[in-house]
Structure 1
Amino acid sequence: MQQQIAAPQHSTQTRTCLIVEDSTFDQERIKRILDKSFKGVFVAVAATIEDARQHMSQYQTSFILLDNNLPDGTGANFAVELAQDPNFAKIPIVIVSDWPTPFMFDKAQSAGVIHVVNKSDFGARYIHAAMNHKVIPKRIN
């Protein structure tokens, strides 16, 4: 797992974004958007779902930007897993995928994912939505 910044000491104003993305190009693109538009957000990067699990077991995560196609599974299935865990169910998730499909949308919606967006359309407004998302309990059908 890669981390841009060492794990922060959390205060009431510190937010941590976990980027779960295996493409270094896309990792850098998302980090640039975060750095340009949002000051004071610490960024952690995980290239696999297992790396994301390890990060989340050790550090507080404020919101997640999640690719769907990962080496060890799909982001939509990981979102469902998180929605079923009371420790993580309230974390806002945005799926950022090359090829969003109707099946992915349905699974993401059932897990309470706040947005599913194509990587080419991804921008600061989706980060803003995640950072300001009102916590609504996720439901699993």
Structure 2
Amino acid sequence: MAEMEKNLSSQRQQKKLQSSQEEEKKNQPTHREIVAKRLGYRGLEVLQNAEYQFPKETQIIIQKLAELISSGDIKEVLDGGQLFALFRSIGINVRMKTKISVEKDGKFVSISDKLRKKSPSTKSD
């Protein structure tokens, strides 16, 4: 009888220990969250494009970046250009959607719209 109570109490302790470990895992930020907190201007945009285009490779890079950030080796904010250069330097060619705008009459207009509106017969002398 005493042995059964001992077994039950040890099982309860194991369950409590497992539940507390699970709660700790839930409270710890993921590798992606660690990296995302350190991203600056357009960094998240580059990261999302990389995750969409190269999911497996990006997961490895996120894991390594999170380790470097957690250890204190990376202290500065990573902007989109730096992250983009990092991906390029290791051979991951992340494609970004680009748009060139020009100012016309105080408004920003897409360069394709501006070129489309110019008629071919108009020449500047």
What TM-score bracket applies, with the shorter chain setting the length? under 0.3
TM-score, normalised to structure 1, is 0.24
Structure having the larger proportion of residues in strand: 1
TM-score, normalised to structure 2, is 0.26
Structure of higher CA gyration radius: 2
